[in-house]
């Protein structure tokens, strides 16, 4: 059905298998216009007419007619067309009803689409899991890896089995999600064999696979002689960043900042880190604030630096609190000693050990180029909900 978050495109379900009935052969033999056959009450003629319709409204009308005439696959197709477009054509509540009707009849696409509707629109993860599980059992390969993502925290065993089933059904993203899972849960010795499926999944725009693929290449996993592949890593991070994955943007920005040889290159790299901040990475916000406050690699901008660090700290990023405390303590940013002490305490409470106790005068903020290793690399962190309308990979 994501999205994900996506970034994902909708490819209409092939209807050829549905058009091989005697009625269709009769329509074709007589040279009858499918639209006319639809008016006469032939569901398969409605499906033919929908396949050749010029616009969404016309296409939806043919699917709605076929659905009324008893074609359950047409009901699901109508639901997809109601779910996706902008208002006034969008009617997700009606789409959910049509998906439920298809699922009740045992259609894998109906159950898969229903799962996404229940999660995104009804905010009912328990029902979404049940629907995804049924769709997976019925053979919907995309629902299998979606189920695995939803079950990852509560039941890693079921998550692994779901990813494995998706991959065995031929889903390239499913194989990528399985590889992402194995990077986190299996011994490091298996990682070289996971580079290839991660790369293939990244090539079809699976963002978690792009990030983990980049991490492995950056760290020298799978390369000849264990050599790091900085160029390959940057390509994977860039693809993830283009797909609005903040970790991809941050990792790409960090790598380019570290390799920069001019201020212009550093400013461009910091722009990628800023994009990660804008996409929701509080660690990236802290990195932007730190570099702008230090002003050693890029022009100093204290008002913007303070805003970025406050955004990070207020969002719960301990590094952001510590970095802001350092600059206030050292007089770079205003606030006074009491404010600095308060921020050090917040950073300590948030798990930043260097901020605990009486901060040393030598304590410094964490520069951007050191954040490549500091950035969390839990590869399943963003693999939970990455939706599109379920129509196969």
* 72: in domain: no
Ramachandran angles phi, psi of 80, nearest 5°: -60, -45
User: For residues 302 and 332, is the Cβ–Cβ distance under 8 A?
Assistant: yes
Q: Could you report the per-residue pLDDT of 260-312, keeping only the tens digit for each?
A: 999 999 999 999 999 999 999 999 999 999 999 999 899 999 999 999 999 99
Q: Could you report the per-residue pLDDT of 189-236, keeping only the tens digit for each?
A: 999 999 999 999 999 999 999 999 999 999 999 766 678 999 999 999
Residue 329 — very low, low, confident or very high, per pLDDT cuts 50/70/90? very high
Q: Is the pLDDT of residue 347 over 50?
A: yes
Report residue 34 as tokens.
């499918």
The CA distance from 68 to 60, in Å, is 12
The CA distance from 28 to 261, in Å, is 68
- Predicted local distance difference test score (pLDDT) of residue 364: 57
Q: Which of 317, 326, 329, 331 is nearest to 371 (CA)?
A: 317
Residue 367 — very low, low, confident or very high, per pLDDT cuts 50/70/90? low
Report residue 4 as tokens.
């994900």
Q: Is the pLDDT of residue 392 over 70?
A: no
Q: Could you report the per-residue pLDDT of 11-43, keeping only the tens digit for each?
A: 333 333 333 344 444 444 445 789 999 999 999
DSSP secondary structure string, 99-141? HHHHHHTT-HHHHHHHHHHHHHTS--HHHHHHHHHHHHHTT-H
Number of domains in the chain: 1
Spell out a b/e string for 132-147, using b for 16 or more CB atoms within 10 Å of the CB, else e. Answer: bbbbbebebbbbbbbb
Q: Is the pLDDT of residue 5 over 50?
A: no
* 385: in domain: no
* 187: in domain: no
* 221: in domain: no
* 22: in domain: no
- Predicted local distance difference test score (pLDDT) of residue 88: 83
CA angle 260/369/177 to nearest 5° reads 100
User: For residues 298 and 263, is the Cβ–Cβ distance under 8 A?
Assistant: yes
User: For residues 388 and 120, is the Cβ–Cβ distance under 8 A?
Assistant: no
Task: Compute the 3-state secondary structure of the chain and give helix, strand, coil in percent, each to the nearest 5.
Answer: 65, 0, 35
Residue range(s) defining the domain that contains residue 350: 245-374
* 289: in domain: yes
Report helix angle 191-203 to 207-218, nearest 10. Answer: 140
CATH number for position 257: 1.25.40.10
* 276: in domain: yes
Contacts of 302 (CB under 8 A, 6+ apart): 292, 293, 332, 333
Compute how many other C-beta atoms are within 10 angstroms of the C-beta atom of residue 231. 9
User: For residues 320 and 282, is the Cβ–Cβ distance under 8 A?
Assistant: yes
Report helix angle 336-349 to 318-329, nearest 10. Answer: 160
* 357: in domain: yes
Q: Is the pLDDT of residue 321 over 70?
A: yes
Report helix angle 336-349 to 302-314, nearest 10. Answer: 40
The CA distance from 325 to 146, in Å, is 41
The 8 Å CB, 24+ separation contacts for 330-339 are 332/293, 332/302, 333/293, 333/302, 333/305, 333/306, 333/309
Q: Name the pTM for this structure.
A: 0.81
- Predicted local distance difference test score (pLDDT) of residue 86: 83
3-state SS, 280-332, equals CCHHHHHHHHHHHHHCCCCCCCHHHHHHHHHHHHHCCCHHHHHHHHHHHHCCC
The CA distance from 176 to 134, in Å, is 22
Q: What letter does residue 353 receive in the DSSP assignment?
A: G
């Amino acid at each position: 059905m994501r999205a994900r978050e996506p970034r994902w495109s909708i490819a209409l379900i092939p209807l050829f298998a549905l058009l091989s009935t005697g009625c269709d052969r009769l329509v074709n033999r007589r040279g009858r216009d499918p639209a006319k056959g639809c008016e006469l009450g032939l569901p398969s003629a409605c499906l033919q007419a929908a396949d050749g319709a010029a616009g969404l409204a016309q296409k939806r009308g043919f699917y709605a007619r076929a659905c009324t005439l008893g074609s359950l696959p047409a009901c699901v197709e109508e639901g997809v067309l109601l779910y996706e477009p902008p208002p006034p054509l969008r009617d997700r509540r009606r789409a959910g009803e049509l998906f439920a009707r298809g699922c009740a009849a045992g259609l894998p696409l109906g159950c898969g689409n229903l799962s996404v509707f229940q999660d995104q629109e009804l905010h009912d993860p328990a029902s979404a899991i049940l629907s995804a599980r049924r769709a997976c059992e019925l053979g919907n390969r995309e629902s299998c890896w979606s189920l695995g993502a939803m079950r990852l925290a509560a039941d890693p065993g079921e998550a692994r089995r779901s990813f494995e089933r998706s991959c065995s059904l031929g889903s390239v993203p499913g194989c990528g999600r399985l590889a992402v899972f194995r990077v986190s849960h299996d011994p490091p010795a298996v990682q070289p064999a996971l580079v290839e499926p991660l790369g293939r999944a990244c090539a079809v725009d699976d963002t978690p696979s792009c990030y983990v693929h980049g991490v492995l290449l950056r760290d020298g996993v799978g390369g000849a002689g264990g050599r790091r592949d900085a160029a390959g890593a940057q390509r994977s991070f860039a693809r993830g960043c283009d797909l609005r994955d903040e970790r991809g943007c941050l990792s790409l920005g960090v790598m380019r900042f570290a390799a920069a040889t001019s201020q212009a290159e550093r400013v461009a790299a910091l722009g990628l880190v800023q994009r990660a901040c804008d996409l929701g990475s509080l660690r990236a916000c802290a990195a932007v604030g730190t570099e702008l406050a230090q002003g050693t690699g890029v022009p100093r901008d204290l008002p913007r630096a303070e805003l970025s660090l406050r955004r990070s700290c207020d969002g719960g990023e301990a590094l952001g609190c510590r970095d802001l405390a350092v600059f206030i303590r050292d007089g770079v940013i205003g606030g006074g000693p009491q404010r600095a002490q308060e921020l050090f305490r917040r950073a300590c409470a948030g798990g930043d050990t260097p901020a605990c106790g009486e901060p040393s005068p030598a304590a410094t903020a964490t520069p951007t180029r050191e954040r490549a290793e500091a950035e969390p690399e839990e590869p399943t962190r963003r693999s939970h909900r990455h939706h599109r309308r379920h129509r196969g990979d």
